[in-house]
């Protein structure tokens, strides 16, 4: 460990050294060269080549972005209330939200088969309320969620990549007491720890948690289904920023799935709140702690499955860990640090690394506001045989500004194709019309098909895409449907009716343009009313809205979908229920009376 | 725009008409009709109300327009009575009350029963057939035998599906893409789609008994005939029900073209 070069830099001094490259606007009307984007433009009526699946940060949502047009095609509500769909309003969505209406999505990942996406599910974390959600790709809606116990800052999330996604792992960025119920000395941070949570992807249940003494931040899995990774920037166990930056070295923590499975099979765990807790602290054999320079950030695995690249953040380096050497690390044949086969200096504030499938890595440099392209093999060769003045860096591109995540097309699969790179920039500063103190972010599209990177397009983004994956259209498109099965919802309505059980009234209502299945619904003040609404229209792209005037209820039901909502009829009077989602030439007439008779 | 009724299966029986509604009932029925029905079924009961096209169905590359029921023909799809006969008041009452699943016909359980009966009286004034004819005798349909839905029955039903040539319209896999499916028209000359079993519930009802009933009654005004004469064995009829249920169960979520 002591052989490491001192690589820390002064972040504060460099933090705002923005590179202010100018755009190509010619306000004087002068002749302008054709935009490099022209060759990539998606003409009206044409489709994008890639589905981009982006997180939405503390907006709580997931977005579908067409690449290369950068058009936002859909916003999928996950950890937020969305009247545009009824998410957080319907009984079905409430059951999946557990009464928590805020969330913080960071990483959207796809389910895998044999190292590439299978088009079945997306997974997304909630860093704020510590949950995992699963999105069905066929309808692009959340179909399951699970709360992650014993953890805070549920940040890194990654599915098993081979042979198929049976497990999804999540990291806890914030060290906490494992049993966090107010017992013990809560101020004594030395008793805190981080857990590596394993979730069953099919059942969406916690399988087990591996407890460590360090914090566990960003996550990755290997391409063989045998290892998972977590960067740890607080190996100090500090509770203040000074304490967290005290040590020159932190870790990439590697989890051995072989050893975890053996421990589970041998009942070598304790059970807390019904969850098996495995001891993964240093020296237990479940984990390897590979020293890397202080406070690392992302960990990404190269498409050939051979290398895990840790981006340095505080250190201007990337650390290349040879995954094929991990068996020897776990066997004790070599020191953990021996698996670091290269550590090139690449620039200030490296956060995340992505790949083009041609041996090159692209790392986002937050402080330098750059994307840097470097060659992995060249870095390994230069580590073994340093040559004065030689570097693994191939190219640099200024971005605008302060890039966080970066991702190349298909880069988290063994089919990385090196066509496009997305730079998710945290700050747009002067790139767009001024919209006040809270400005959009700037997501930039970059062509990486050639030797040099070429900036193609700026696209504004609402808060806050942390990460994105770019998935080839042909992988996703065959799975996406225009309507669900009508009977998929057990309460699907084909005939409207009103039934009463005591003070509980259930209204089953069809919606077929331009009529709801009933014209009047009468209830008594104080009744608990459930509306179950099924869209029975046969044609695609015809959704019906359902709003109850003055009752704070609104939802949208897609073709053949059923959604329900329950509330107390606490306001006597006549209230119009109407279709909010334009459906027909007589859409405005598609309404019915909700009559609440006053308590006598 | 007018749609000519090209085919009416009319058994011109001259039987006396059972209970005749009072003039007041018909008058009240007209008020209800004007409030609830006229927008689709039209002032003249010919299905040419302001809504016009109730909806467009799209499947297998075909787009068809579906009109509301034309009462002037006195032809009704969903009945308990034999093919070609008028429905009973109970049949009409069931449709008015419950609506027709997957169609523009809503439920009217929110209306008093008397109003529903009155509007039926009024609807009968649109066709002379109600004055000249009387409803058929409802077919008696027993409860489904216990073997319905079994693997053996389903397999046998697949054979019946082939023998009865259901595939001609409904297709080999039940999705409504059979060789005849592109040329189907109803009695008004409008193109219609063969039912896609994999899309779920049937308009005529999805219980085993309701599916059986549809085989027996046919759907008058459409190319779906009664199989009462062709399919004489009870066993075959229930086996075909089993196979239809299986087709409906296997329905995947769909991507439409």
How confident is the model over A224-274, as pLDDT tens digits? 999 999 999 999 999 999 999 999 999 999 999 999 999 999 999 999 999
pLDDT at A29 over 90: no
Q: Pairing mode, if any, of strands A544-548 and A553-557?
A: antiparallel
Asked if B150 is an interface residue toward chain A (Cβ–Cβ < 8 A), one would say no
The span from the CA of A410 to the CA of A421, in Å, is 10
Whether the CB of B254 is below 8 Å from some CB of chain A: the reply is yes
> What gap in Å lies between CA A254 and CA A118, rounded to an integer?
26
Residue of B nearest to A508 (CA): B107
| Gap between the Cα atoms of A5 and A8, Å rounded | 9
The pLDDT confidence band at residue A538, using thresholds 50, 70 and 90, is confident
Query: How confident is residue A485, by pLDDT bands cut at 50, 70 and 90?
Result: confident
* Closest alpha carbon to B130 in B34, B45, B40: B45
Burial of A12 (0-12, 13-18, 19+ CB in 10 A): exposed
CB-based contact A519 B36, cutoff 8 Å: yes
The whole-angstrom separation of Cα A254 and Cα A336 is: 10
- Out of B57, B104, B206, name the one closest to residue A539 (CB): B57
Cβ neighbours of B59 in A, within 8 Å: 538
What is the rounded CA–CA span in Å between residue A516 and residue A397? 56
Q: Who has greater pLDDT, A350 or A514? A: A350
Helix axes B23-36, B113-123, angle to 10 degrees: 100
| Residue A3 in this model has a pLDDT that exceeds 60 | no
Within an 8 Å CB–CB cutoff, is residue B140 touching chain A?
no
Q: What are phi and psi of A171, to 5 degrees?
A: -110, 150
- pLDDT at site A196: 98
Cβ–Cβ of A495/B58 closer than 8 Å? no
- Strands A528-535 and A504-512, sheet pairing: parallel
pLDDT of residue A585: 83
Calculate Rg over the CA atoms of chain B: 19
Question: What is the dihedral sign for C-alpha A38, A39, A40, A45?
Answer: positive
Q: Give the chain A residue nearest B196 (alpha carbons).
A: A538
Binning pLDDT at 50, 70 and 90, where does residue A539 land? Answer: confident
For A22, other C-beta atoms within 10 Å of its C-beta total 7
Compute the distance between CA of residue A485 and CA of residue A463 in angstroms, rounded to an integer: 34
Q: Does B55 touch chain A (CB under 8 A)?
A: yes
pLDDT at residue number B199 = 84
A5 closest CA partner among A313, A295, A315: A315
CATH code for the structural domain at A486-597: 2.60.40.420
Q: Which of A182-186, A319-323, A534-538, B95-99 has the lowest mean pLDDT?
A: A534-538
Output the pLDDT for position B150.
95
Q: What is the pLDDT of residue B161?
A: 97
| Residue A31 banded pLDDT, cuts 50, 70, 90 | low
CB A383 within 8 A of CB A436: no
Residue A541, chain B, CB below 8 Å: the answer is no
Which residue matches tokens 């981009």? A52
Shortest CA distance from A586: residue in chain B: B51
- For B24-38, letters b (16+ CB in 10 Å) and e give ebbebbbebbeebbb
B73: pLDDT strictly greater than 90: yes
Instruction: With both helix axes pointing from N to C terminus, report the angle between B151-163 and B234-249 in degrees, rounded to the nearest 10.
Output: 100
CB atoms within 10 A of CB A45: 5
Higher pLDDT, B256 or A333: A333
Q: Quick one: pLDDT band at residue B14, thresholds 50, 70, 90? A: very low
pLDDT score at B67: 83
In terms of phi and psi (left: phi > 0; alpha: psi -120 to 50; beta: otherwise), the region of A99 is left
Mean pLDDT lowest among A179-183, B6-10, B80-84, B175-179: B6-10
Interfacial A residues in 118-177 facing B (CB < 8 Å)? 138-139
CB contact under 8 A, B200 and A514: no
A538:B58 CB<8 A: yes
Mean pLDDT, chain A, as a whole number?
Answer: 94
Instruction: Look at residue A80 in the predicted model and tell me its pLDDT.
Output: 97
Task: Give the gap in angstroms from C-alpha B246 to the nearest C-alpha of chain A.
Answer: 14
* Contact (CB, 8 A) for B134 and B86: yes
- Asked whether the beta carbons of residue A481 and residue B253 sit closer than 8 angstroms, the reply is yes
Nearest to A484 among B109, B253, B256 (CB): B253
Between CA A405 and CA A470 the distance in angstroms is 13
pLDDT band of B64, cuts 50, 70, 90: confident
Residue A147 burial (10 A CB sphere; 0-12, 13-18, 19+): middle
- Residue A586's pLDDT is what? 87
How far, in Å, CA of B257 to CA of B175, rounded?
A: 13
DSSP character string of A105-126 = B--EEEEEETTEEEEEEEEEEE
> So what's the ipTM on this one?
0.78
Tokens of A353: 């690394």
Average pLDDT (A483-498) is: 91
Q: How many CB atoms lie within 10 A of CB A130?
A: 23
Strands, E, within A175-297: which ranges?
194-200, 205-212, 219-221, 227-232, 249-256, 270-272, 275-279, 287-293
Whether residues A496 and B56 touch (CB distance < 8 A) is answered with: no
Upstream peptide bond of A63 is cis (omega within 30 degrees of 0): no
> What does the longest C-alpha to C-alpha distance in chain B come to?
56
Q: At residue A209, does pLDDT exceed 80?
A: yes
Q: Which domains does chain B have, with CATH numbers?
A: 23-132 (1.10.760.10), 151-249 (1.10.760.10)
pLDDT at A7: 43
pLDDT band at B60; cut points 50, 70, 90: low
Q: At what angle do helices B208-217 and B234-249 cross, to 10 degrees?
A: 120
Chain B hits for A510, Cβ within 8 Å: 99, 101, 106-107
**Residue of A510, A558, A584 to mutate when probing chain B, most B C-beta within 10 A:** A510
Q: Chain B: residue nearest A498 by CA?
A: B109
Q: A147: Cβ–Cβ under 8 A, 6 or more apart, which residues?
A: A98, A129, A130, A131
* pLDDT confidence band for B66 (50 / 70 / 90): confident
pLDDT tens profile A32-89: 668 999 999 999 999 999 999 999 999 999 999 999 999 999 999 999 999 999 999 9
Please report, for chain A, the start and end positions of each structural domain, with discontinuous segments joined by +: 49-479, 486-597
Using DSSP's 3-state secondary structure scheme, residue A447 falls into strand
Residues A410-457: tens digit of each pLDDT: 999 999 999 999 999 999 999 999 999 999 999 999 999 999 999 999
Q: Please identify which residue in the block is written with the tokens 């993964």.
A: A280
Taking residues A285-312, report their average pLDDT.
Answer: 97
Q: Can you tell me the mean pLDDT for B242-257?
A: 72
The CA distance from B62 to B57, in Å, is 8
Instruction: Match domain A49-479 to its CATH number in 2.130.10.10, 3.90.79.10, 2.30.30.230, 2.60.120.380.
Output: 2.130.10.10
CB contact under 8 A, A586 and B51: yes
**Is B253 within 8 Å of A520 when comparing Cβ atoms?**
no
Q: Are B253 and A488 contacting, i.e. CB atoms less than 8 angstroms apart?
A: yes
- Distance of alpha carbon B71 from alpha carbon B53, whole angstroms: 16
Question: What part of B 160-219 touches A (C-beta under 8 Å)?
Answer: 199-201, 206
In this prediction, residue B62 carries a pLDDT of 66
CB A347 within 8 A of CB A314: no
Residues in chain B: 257
Nearest residue to A321 (alpha-carbon basis) of A448, A228, A193: A228
- Residues of chain A contacting residue B200, judged by C-beta atoms under 8 Å apart: 485-487, 560
pLDDT band at A341 (very low <50, low <70, confident <90, very high): very high
CB within 8 Å: B256 and A540: yes
| Chain A contact present for B104, CB below 8 A | yes
CB neighbourhood size of B142 (10 A) = 9
B226 at A interface, C-beta within 8 A = no
Instruction: Report chain B residues whose CB lies below 8 A from the CB of A513.
Output: 55, 104
Alpha carbons B106 and A534: distance in angstroms, whole number: 12
Residues contacting A55, CB < 8 A, separation 6+: A62, A63, A105, A106, A107, A108, A124, A465, A466, A467, A468
Mean pLDDT (chain B, rounded): 86
Q: Please give, rounded to a whole number of angstroms, the shortest distance from the CA of A434 to a CA of chain B.
A: 42
Task: Match 């460990």 to its residue by tokens.
Answer: A1
Q: How far apart are CA A89 and CA A75, in angstroms?
A: 16
């Amino acid at each position: 460990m002591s052989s490491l070069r001192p690589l820390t830099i002064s972040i504060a001094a460099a933090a705002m050294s923005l590179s202010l490259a100018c755009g190509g606007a010619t306000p004087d009307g002068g002749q302008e060269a054709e935009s490099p984007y022209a060759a990539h433009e998606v003409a009206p009526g044409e489709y994008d080549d890639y589905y981009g699946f982006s997180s939405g940060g503390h907006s709580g949502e997931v977005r579908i972005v067409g690449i290369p047009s950068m058009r936002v095609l859909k916003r999928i509500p996950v950890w937020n209330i969305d009247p545009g769909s009824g998410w957080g309003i319907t009984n079905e969505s409430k059951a999946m939200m557990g009464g928590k209406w805020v969330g913080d999505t960071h990483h959207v990942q796809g389910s895998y088969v044999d190292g590439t996406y299978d088009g079945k599910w997306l997974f997304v974390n909630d860093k704020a309320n510590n949950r995992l959600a699963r999105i069905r790709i066929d309808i692009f809606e959340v179909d399951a969620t699970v709360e992650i116990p014993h953890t805070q800052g549920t940040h890194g999330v990654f599915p098993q990549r081979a042979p198929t996604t049976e497990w999804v792992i999540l990291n806890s960025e914030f060290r906490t007491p494992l049993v966090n119920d107010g017992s013990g000395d809560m101020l004594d941070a030395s008793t805190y720890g981080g857990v590596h949570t394993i979730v069953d992807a099919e059942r969406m249940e916690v399988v087990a948690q591996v407890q460590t003494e360090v914090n566990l931040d960003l996550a990755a899995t290997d391409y063989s289904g045998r290892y998972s990774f977590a960067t740890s920037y607080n190996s100090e166990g500090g509770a203040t920023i000074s304490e967290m930056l005290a040590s020159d070295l932190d870790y990439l923590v590697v989890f051995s799935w072989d050893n975890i499975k053996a421990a589970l099979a041998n009942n070598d765990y304790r059970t807390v709140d019904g969850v098996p807790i495995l001891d993964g602290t240093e020296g237990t054999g479940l984990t390897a702690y590979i020293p890397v320079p202080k406070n690392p950030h992302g960990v990404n695995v190269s498409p050939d499955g051979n290398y895990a690249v840790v981006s340095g953040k505080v250190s201007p380096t990337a650390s290349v860990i040879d995954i094929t050497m991990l068996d020897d690390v776990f066997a004790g044949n070599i020191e953990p640090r021996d698996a670091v086969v290269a550590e090139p200096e690449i620039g200030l504030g490296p956060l995340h690394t992505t790949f083009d499938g041609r041996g090159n890595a692209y790392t986002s440099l937050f402080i330098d506001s750059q994307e840097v392209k470097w060659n992995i093999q060249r870095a390994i060769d230069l580590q073994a045989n340093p040559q004065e003045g030689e570097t693994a860096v191939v190219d640099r591109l200024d971005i605008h500004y302060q890039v966080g995540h970066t991702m190349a097309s298909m880069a988290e699969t063994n089919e990385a194709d090196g066509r496009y790179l997305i730079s998710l920039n945290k700050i747009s500063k002067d790139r767009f019309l001024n919209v006040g103190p809270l400005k959009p972010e700037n997501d930039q599209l970059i062509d990486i098909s050639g030797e040099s990177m070429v900036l193609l397009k700026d696209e504004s983004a609402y808060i806050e895409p942390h990460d994105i994956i770019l998935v080839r259209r042909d992988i996703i498109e065959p799975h996406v449907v225009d309507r669900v099965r009508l009977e998929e919802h057990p309460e699907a309505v084909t005939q409207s009716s009103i039934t009463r059980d005591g003070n509980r009234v259930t209204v089953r209502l069809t919606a077929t343009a331009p009529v709801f299945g009933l014209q009047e619904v009468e209830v008594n003040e104080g009744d608990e009313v459930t509306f179950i609404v099924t869209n029975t229209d046969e044609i695609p792209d015809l959704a019906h809205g359902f709003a109850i005037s003055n009752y704070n209820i609104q939802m949208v039901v897609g073709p053949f979908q059923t959604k329900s909502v329950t509330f107390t009829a606490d306001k006597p009077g006549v209230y119009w229920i109407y279709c909010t989602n334009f459906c027909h030439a007589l859409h405005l007439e598609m309404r019915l009376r909700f009559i609440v008779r006053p308590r006598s | 725009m007018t749609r000519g009724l090209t085919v009416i299966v009319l058994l011109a029986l001259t039987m006396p008409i059972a209970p005749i509604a009072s003039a007041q009932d018909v008058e009240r029925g007209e008020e209800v009709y004007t409030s609830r029905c006229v927008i689709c079924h039209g002032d003249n009961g010919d299905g040419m109300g302001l809504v016009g096209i109730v909806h467009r169905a799209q499947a297998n590359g075909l787009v068809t327009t579906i009109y509301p029921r034309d009462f002037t023909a006195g032809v009704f799809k969903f009945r308990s009575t034999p093919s070609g006969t008028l429905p009973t008041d109970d049949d009409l009452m069931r449709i008015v009350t419950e609506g027709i699943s997957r169609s523009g016909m809503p439920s009217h359980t929110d209306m008093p029963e008397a109003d529903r009966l009155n509007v039926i009286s009024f609807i009968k004034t649109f066709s002379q057939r109600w004055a000249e004819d009387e409803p058929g005798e409802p077919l008696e349909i027993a409860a489904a035998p216990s073997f319905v839905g079994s693997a053996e029955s389903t397999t046998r039903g697949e054979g019946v599906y082939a023998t009865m040539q259901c595939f001609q319209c409904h297709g080999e896999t039940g999705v409504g893409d059979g060789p005849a499916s592109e040329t189907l028209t109803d009695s008004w000359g409008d193109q219609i789609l063969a039912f896609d079993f994999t899309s779920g519930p049937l308009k005529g009802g999805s219980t085993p008994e309701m599916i059986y009933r549809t085989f027996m009654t046919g759907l008058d005004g459409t190319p779906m005939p009664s199989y009462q004469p062709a399919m004489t064995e009870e066993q075959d009829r229930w086996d075909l029900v089993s196979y239809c249920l299986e087709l409906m169960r296997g329905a995947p979520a769909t991507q439409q073209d």
